[in-house]
Chains A and B, each alone.
Chain A
Amino acid sequence: MSQSTESHAERGSVSPAVTVSDVTKHYQLGGRVTALDGVSLSLPEGSYTAVMGPSGSGKSTLLNLIGGLDTPDSGTVSVGGTRLDGTDDATRADVRGTEIGFVFQTFDLLPRLTAVQNVALPLTFADWGRAARRDRAAALLGDVGLGDRLDHRPPELSGGQRQRVAIARALAADPSVVLADEPTGNVDTETGGEVLSLLDGLHESGNTVLLVTHARRVAERAQQIVHVRDGAIEGVERLEGDAPTLSVADDPTGGEN
């Protein structure tokens, strides 16, 4: 990764990039379903975390809350220092555009935009100038090895290439956290490996990465795995000795597990 993606890392890694505190979320689905029940989690800046859990465990809900797509019924969520609970649509849209980078399972590029336009999309909504957008997007595509595919549209790219475009897009606004939802779910094993290497690279260049997956093999790339079951955090598994502090107690800034 180049310098262009390193700014968050340079700010140091003391403050948490994401803080989730005692969050509860219910859905009305036939009956009242508790998706998350008193979950607390803190992701230090520069950390690489995987969230694992079976279907319906609440891991998608957690991702939606951190990603500012949804608001909790109770508890607080803050990303990059901005509170997302109890905010209006406009504020959360702002945060999604500037503090969060999404990488989806199905790539989710806009089919009619070229690679460089897709990468520049968050900057378009953040009112960047046209030339600045293009320069930034071209640099990011260069970083993920697609410098020669700037003006290709998604249908002209392979699955792996599309996911690389999606990763470049996630980094466009230099977000506080990159949220990857099953990023290897839709590509073959070899391409999946490439994608995971890219995510590793993001981490190495200082980005905070949160990866949601149900595949152990994928989760093992992270520094720690948060196991979610029935709307609660079941446990945290540390994979690297030197991993930054990750806390899941009621007190999000509290002691280690």
Chain B
Amino acid sequence: MDLRETFRIAVRSIRAHNLRSALTVLGVVVGIGSVIVFATFGASVQAAVVSQIGQTSANSIFLTPASIESGGQDGPPGAGIADATRPVFTERDVTELGEINGVETVVPQGTVRLSGVSHAGDTVAQRQAIGTTPAAFGDDDIVDGRAFESGAQEVVVNEAARTAFEQNLSVGDTVTLTLADGDRRNATVVGVADGTRGGLLSQFGPSGPQLYLPSEPFYQTSVEGTTDGVRVTAYPQVTVVAEPSQTGTVADAVRAYTPESDAAALLPAEQTVGVQTTGEIVGQIQEILGQLTRFVTGIAVLSLVVGAIGIANITLVSVTERTREIGIMKAVGAQNRDVMQLFLTESALLGTGGAVLGIPVGLVVAWGATRFAEVGFTLALDWMAFAVVVGVAVGVGAGLYPAWRAARVDPIEALRQE
């Protein structure tokens, strides 16, 4: 029997039971739709996070203390945050790293402990500021004013900090910093930045009020040096900014240097200096988000399985109801494979219908979710293809057994049935 006729008869049978066919299709729509929603939303979040990191620090190589156990440079970003705050990178390390070929600049970064910040009589509690060097600010980072100068009583604030006071800060204003030890220092606001090239944990999403101070004179953290017992300034994080296209070779050179660095000497035995390029971090984040997406989408696949059971169920009912019809068709010359084809086409149509309707439904819901989460909308084309293939496969797979039963119907028994 030709496929077009099979198709026609199958469509007619489906339409003869409009409501129950619609409900069966709905089951598949929910299944395919949820797969699409989670896959698309996951892909969107992934794309948003990756582009955020990629934009700000494409050529950066991050150095942080990392425990060997947690994987060192291969560990996920943020692993062992306590470890990562150990101040171990000395001025000598910063200088040595800066001398590597292809390095544009080296940005050390540490935490300046505060208790509050005042402006025009209004005090805002602020636990910490970031102590770093002017090199931390790339051309794109400063949105107003300029970077601070090393050794100056100057401060750069982010947008959240600029508007944290009753009177918004503007370039040229003076703020009073209350340090953790109670000292008060005045600093002039010289610029507004929307981030720095340094630091890898400070890059996610819109952050709270942030102040950037020149490490000289504000950053005080020091450790006993490696040689003569003199205390030297040390930072918990160093960011090496490589010249574009040199990131790979610079990263290799940085890795070669770290075993002889002060940081390596200062770190306890179970820790090492972690070196990660932006690309590696992006890769790791992508992998984590990818795993998460696959996990959640896997759960959505469960609902697709339920949809498949719905198709199998309704096709079985259909075979039972139409046993006599099958008998008639066989009596007038239908081959077993004609009967099988007929029922398989029916279930495949239900599955395909579910997929075709499920994709737009899933995309609309996913779009809504990305609006809500304020991330860009990214299509997960591979998952969409997967959903269609699965929809058809689910239809065919779920129809196989019922269709096989239909094909095996004994025409004599069938014609005897009322």
Residues in A lying within 8 Å of B, measured CB to CB:
64, 67, 69-70, 89-90, 93-94, 96-98, 102, 104, 108-110, 112-113, 121-122, 124-127, 130, 169, 172-173
**CB closest residue in chain B, given A109:** B328
Measured between alpha carbons, how far is A164 from B240 in the docked complex, in Å?
A: 92
Nearest CB on B from A156, distance (A): 15
Task: Evaluate contact between B332 and A96: CB separation under 8 angstroms.
Answer: yes
- With A108-B324, A124-B5, A127-B2 known to touch, is A96 a contact of B415 (CB < 8 Å)? no
Q: List 28 A-B contacts (CB under 8 A).
A: A64-B412, A67-B331, A69-B412, A69-B415, A90-B335, A96-B330, A96-B331, A96-B333, A102-B331, A104-B331, A104-B415, A108-B328, A108-B331, A108-B415, A110-B329, A112-B13, A112-B16, A113-B9, A113-B12, A121-B332, A122-B332, A125-B1, A125-B332, A125-B334, A125-B335, A125-B338, A127-B1, A172-B332
B138 within 8 A of A: no
Measured between alpha carbons, how far is A146 from B285 in the docked complex, in Å?
A: 73
Measured between alpha carbons, how far is A108 from B328 in the docked complex, in Å?
A: 7
Q: Which 7 A-B pairs have the closest CB atoms?
A: A97-B333, A125-B333, A122-B332, A93-B335, A108-B328, A125-B334, A112-B12
Instruction: Among A64, A96, A98, A172, find the residue whose CB has the most chain B CB atoms closer than 10 A.
Output: A96
User: Contacts of A108 on B, CB cut-off 8 Å?
Assistant: 324, 327-328, 331, 415
Measured between alpha carbons, how far is A112 from B415 in the docked complex, in Å?
A: 18
Interface residues of B in 308-354 (CB under 8 A from A): 324-325, 327-336, 338
User: Contacts of B335 on A, CB cut-off 8 Å?
Assistant: 89-90, 93-94, 125
User: Contacts of B12 on A, CB cut-off 8 Å?
Assistant: 112-113
Chain B interface size band reads 20 to 34
Interface residues of B in 37-58 (CB under 8 A from A): none
**CB closest residue in chain A, given B8:** A117
Task: Evaluate contact between A70 and B412: CB separation under 8 angstroms.
Answer: yes
Task: Evaluate contact between B13 and A130: CB separation under 8 angstroms.
Answer: no
Q: A108-B331, A113-B9 are in contact. List 17 more A-B contacts (CB 8 A).
A: A64-B412, A69-B411, A69-B412, A69-B415, A70-B412, A89-B335, A93-B335, A96-B332, A97-B333, A102-B332, A104-B415, A108-B324, A110-B329, A121-B329, A125-B329, A126-B333, A127-B2
Task: Evaluate contact between A122 and B412: CB separation under 8 angstroms.
Answer: no
User: Contacts of B411 on A, CB cut-off 8 Å?
Assistant: 69
Task: Evaluate contact between A124 and B412: CB separation under 8 angstroms.
Answer: no
